Structure 1
Amino acid sequence: MSLKEKVAEFMTREFPQTNVVVEEVGNRSAKVRQPIGEEHLRPGGTVSGPVLMAVADVAMYAAILGEIGLVALAVTTNFTINFLRKPSATCDILGECRLMKVGKRLVVGEVLLYSEGDLEPVAHAVGTYSIPPVR
């Protein structure tokens, strides 16, 4: 089983509430996809902020799992997102994460979010995860 398949299976098992699709994992990075439907839109016909934040968080978590292994108790300790432009209400949201620092206790990464087919990002997020000590 590939690393991507292991991370995707882990996410499905441990976080059944998400339907973000893990597409790539490895080399301190991950790519994910959120299929967009009516349930993801807010008034005004745009993808809601909480959906974008969730996609960014899942992308970062997938990249981290690819580096440290399948650790369920790695948790977000800081998360900042900048909404840059209105995402398409008819296109999937793509998240591309790059980890900037992988330490023993903390991991810092950034995520760019795109509406599929658009080269300009709709949001940029930076986050920090706390890694539980090895026992």
Structure 2
Amino acid sequence: MQAVMSAEEMNDWLGKVFPQVGSDFVVESMDGVTTVMRMKVDDRHLRPGNTVSGPSMFSLADVSAFVATMACIGKEALTVTTGCSIDFMRKPEAGKDLIAVTTLLKLGRTLSVTNILIYSEGNDAPVARANMTYSIPPKS
């Protein structure tokens, strides 16, 4: 697969279709198979224990899977999450951005399947792993 738009174009589009969260995430690279995204972590993403919350990590995984799918099919905002499994493996460091490395495992006519590894910036061991399935709307 090859990306149908650049990371810059994707960042611009995300800001338009998801203005409520678009500024939280940055697409650093995408090539149609691997997508790398950053979540700019701030105080609102933290939970007691001075760590990044599970819902924040889920958001990063979800947006990363969405972007990995859009990289191949183009701008289709009505593509939606239909399945997710996430494992929280280590405590993310507060004050460090999260980096998601997403691999597109399968892209069919109606489903996209991705695997996401989430890291605290600067650490080699992942803090979470997720598998996401997206439903792609039929062509009109």
> CA shift at 1:22, angstroms?
1.1
**RMSD of aligned Cα (Å):** 0.9
> CA shift at 1:7, angstroms?
1.2
Does structure 1 residue 63 correspond to structure 2 residue 33?
no
- State the distance in 2 between where 1:72 and 1:85 align: 32
Q: How many residues get paired?
A: 134
The equivalent residue for 1:102 is 107
Q: Secondary structure at the match of 2:104?
A: strand
> CA shift at 1:14, angstroms?
0.3
> CA shift at 1:9, angstroms?
1.0
The equivalent residue for 1:7 is 10
> CA shift at 1:36, angstroms?
1.3
Identity among equivalent positions (%) equals 42
C-alpha distance after superposition, 1:41-96 (max 9, x if no partner): 00111100000000011111111110000100000000110000000002100011
The equivalent residue for 1:21 is 26
Kindly report which structure 2 residues correspond to 1:46-61, keeping only aligned pairs within 5 A, or say none: 46-61=51-66
The equivalent residue for 2:40 is 35
Q: Secondary structure at the match of 1:107?
A: strand
Counterpart amino acid of residue 109 in structure 1: T
- State the distance in 2 between where 1:22 and 1:87 align: 20
Which residue among 98, 112, 117 is the counterpart of 2:117?
Answer: 112
Q: Is the 8 A contact 1:28 1:64 kept in 2?
A: no
What 5-or-longer segments of structure 1 have no aligned partner? none
Counterpart amino acid of residue 100 in structure 1: L
Which residue among 116, 125, 131 is the counterpart of 2:136?
Answer: 131
What 5-or-longer segments of structure 2 have no aligned partner? none
Q: Secondary structure at the match of 1:16?
A: coil
Counterpart amino acid of residue 65 in structure 2: M
Kindly report which structure 2 residues correspond to 1:62-101, keeping only aligned pairs within 5 A, or say none: 62-101=67-106
Normalised to the residue count of structure 1, the TM-score between the two structures is 0.96
Q: Secondary structure at the match of 2:118?
A: strand
Q: Where does structure 1 differ by over 6 angstroms across 4 or more consecutive aligned residues?
A: none
